[in-house]
Amino acid sequence: MLRALLYLRITSARNQFVAFIKRLKEPKYLLGAAAAIVYLYYAVFKTVNGHLDDIQSSPLGRHVGVIPVTFSRDQFVGVAACILFVLIFFKTAWLLISPPAQPGLKFSEAEIAFLFSAPLTRKRLIHFNLLSTQFKILFSSLLLTLLFGNAGAGFSANIFKALGWWILLSSFSLYTIGSGLFIARKLQRSVKPMLYRIFAGLLLLLLMKHLVSAYLKLSSVTPTFIDPISGALFQTNLLLKAADTQFILAPFKILVAPYFSAQWVTFSSAFALALGVLTVLYIWILTQEVSFEEGSLALAQKRTEVRAAIASGKAPINASVKEKVFKDPFRLLGQGSTEVAFLWKNLISIQSWFNLRVIMILLGPTVFIVLSEYHSVGTPQDVMRMITIISTSLASITLFVGPQLLRQDLRSDLIYMDMLKTYPMKGWQIVLGEIATPVVVMSAVLFMSLIMFVISMHTHWHSIYTASSPILAGILVIPPICTLELLIPNAAVLIFPGLALSANNRRGGIEVMGQRLIFVFGQMLAVLIALLPAGIFGFAVFISAQWWASLIFFDGAAKIIGVLFGAGSLLALMVGEIAFALWWLGRRFEKFDLSKELPQGNS
């Protein structure tokens, strides 16, 4: 029986690999794969190793403050164990906050049809599932070794790396399967699952608060470093010396040790120990008397629905919100600007993503930590410092990641293109209407961050005039900046619809990752090009206007006048750029021939 399962797995894996290689024949996928490999090699491997080398060799790294910074092999093991611990921690946190409805292992519909009705025990099915994951893990381990390995280090060192990756990925996979089954089973048996979730959530919040407190204490004794990575490594070094940390990290150290082994003797003992931990995890999964068939069926059906929806050119719907009705964001009258109809529609759609649970997950811990810090160890200055960090982080994330996260625009409506094209609207009106929702949401978040920042920096503002200047500038320039940012990915949808479709399909693979990287960098570059001339001009106007105004008015008023003129001219230039972009994209939309881009069932 095991032979049949092995045959199925090997044949599927071989065909999958052939399909992957065939896909690389398309230039866009090949380019994507190349970009991803180059990025991973230089951005991750080179950067991290370079930093470690710099820190170890620099005088600052050798001796900073009172504690010497040295990075022995043990400490590398410690750092890696920390990372694994954090990954496991967040995985557990996510499972507790958003547990699966019922225990389930991932099987395809075909596997369910063939295997679930076959005379196989539940343990055999689990073995088949683990075997399936092992194929992916082996391939990933090989890929990661090629990427992070060192050809000059010799054969043995690379074998240790490959097996080290295998141990790490296998342990994470086994833990994920085991904990998923365990938590789902507990929830099924629990009388009040909501109470269980609240309890688990509070527990996680307390743990997070404890971690933040520890981090803050650590930060206070950390000397200033030239770069954040050195600082983080210094703090990790301190953390690793603590007794309770050593205790918590012990099993994680066992799992990462084979990766850092240099000789066959040390590797053999480390590998044997790690295999021991894997065996414990394996037995944990096997001994869980969980009926996973129903859950697996639901998972497979969901995946098939998503695939079928994509294949037929329709939007895959999130099963968890399929039956949830969202309220009208405002009353939409029959007459008026048609672009507002799109804002209204997409604001309804965004509620599926931006719901109370997400807001609680995003803001809950922050508010909780700020409040608890205020009442315990912190001073009002500490709280203000934290608000400054939170507001700048929030603004940075919104600016850089916001356009990728908020996709309630042409990117999500590309599949409805035939409908949109029948609407009696000009192309630019549809483009404007489509991007309105992410612009409004991004602007609101940025404006909120700005106000938080201004409040937290209240000691730096000399008067109400200086404090109100950034807010005034924000009101004028935030919406056009967001519009410019969002025009780029929406332009990409109309210019490269195939790329947008592959992004919507959530297809994996290193080549798709590379395409997304190219896309994100391209977007940043395009926004920079659009903003740079307007920014330089706006700044020049600000300086000139402030200087002229200072000859007539007092300082505060001169600053406000400068900001008004500077931000106003920036706004004017950006509005010009936006108008041109909308006109061009509108024309592109009107000429867009979706029959050339999307698969059509009929002719």
In the complex, the residues that contact another protein under the rule CB under 8 A are: 312, 314-315, 317, 321-326, 328, 332-336, 338, 340-341, 344-345, 348-349, 351-352, 416-419, 421-426, 590-591, 593-596, 600-603
To another protein, the closest distance from the beta carbon of 314 in angstroms equals: 7
CA distance 568 to 574: 10
DSSP class of residue 46? Answer: I
Tokens encoding 241: 């010396």
By residue count, the chain amounts to 603
Query: In sequence order, what are the beta bridge partners of 67?
Result: 64
- 3-state DSSP percent of the chain in helix, strand and coil, to 5: 80, 0, 20
DSSP class of residue 305? Answer: H
Which 3 state secondary structure label does DSSP give 247? Answer: helix
To another protein, the closest distance from the beta carbon of 324 in angstroms equals: 8
Nearer to another protein, 406 or 510 (CB): 406
Nearer to another protein, 57 or 600 (CB): 600
CA distance 157 to 241: 28
To another protein, the closest distance from the beta carbon of 432 in angstroms equals: 14
To another protein, the closest distance from the beta carbon of 417 in angstroms equals: 8
Which residues does 148 contact at the CB level (< 8 Å), separation at least 6?
A: 44, 45, 161
Asked if 78 and 236 count as a contact pair (C-beta separation under 8 A), the reply is yes
Residue 522 one-letter amino acid: G
Nearer to another protein, 422 or 459 (CB): 422
DSSP class of residue 189? Answer: H
Asked if 315 and 309 count as a contact pair (C-beta separation under 8 A), the reply is yes
To another protein, the closest distance from the beta carbon of 89 in angstroms equals: 33
| Nearest C-alpha neighbor of 484 from the set 534, 541, 538 | 534
Q: Between helices 380-405 and 356-375, what is the axis angle to 10°?
A: 160
Nearer to another protein, 131 or 315 (CB): 315
Nearer to another protein, 441 or 478 (CB): 441
Which 3 state secondary structure label does DSSP give 583? Answer: helix
CA distance 453 to 397: 15
Nearer to another protein, 350 or 369 (CB): 350
Nearer to another protein, 291 or 337 (CB): 337
Asked if 367 and 205 count as a contact pair (C-beta separation under 8 A), the reply is no
Nearer to another protein, 373 or 413 (CB): 413
| Nearest C-alpha neighbor of 309 from the set 512, 95, 33, 505 | 505
Nearer to another protein, 3 or 596 (CB): 596
Nearer to another protein, 293 or 597 (CB): 597
Query: In sequence order, what are the beta bridge partners of 64?
Result: 67
| Nearest C-alpha neighbor of 451 from the set 539, 392, 374 | 392
To another protein, the closest distance from the beta carbon of 299 in angstroms equals: 18
To another protein, the closest distance from the beta carbon of 425 in angstroms equals: 7
To another protein, the closest distance from the beta carbon of 307 in angstroms equals: 16
Tokens encoding 373: 């810090």
Which residues does 583 contact at the CB level (< 8 Å), separation at least 6?
A: 428
To another protein, the closest distance from the beta carbon of 454 in angstroms equals: 35
To another protein, the closest distance from the beta carbon of 505 in angstroms equals: 16
To another protein, the closest distance from the beta carbon of 359 in angstroms equals: 18
E strand or H helix at 339, and its extent? Answer: helix 338-350
E strand or H helix at 30, and its extent? Answer: helix 27-39
To another protein, the closest distance from the beta carbon of 22 in angstroms equals: 23
Nearer to another protein, 111 or 413 (CB): 413
DSSP class of residue 64? Answer: B
Nearer to another protein, 74 or 593 (CB): 593
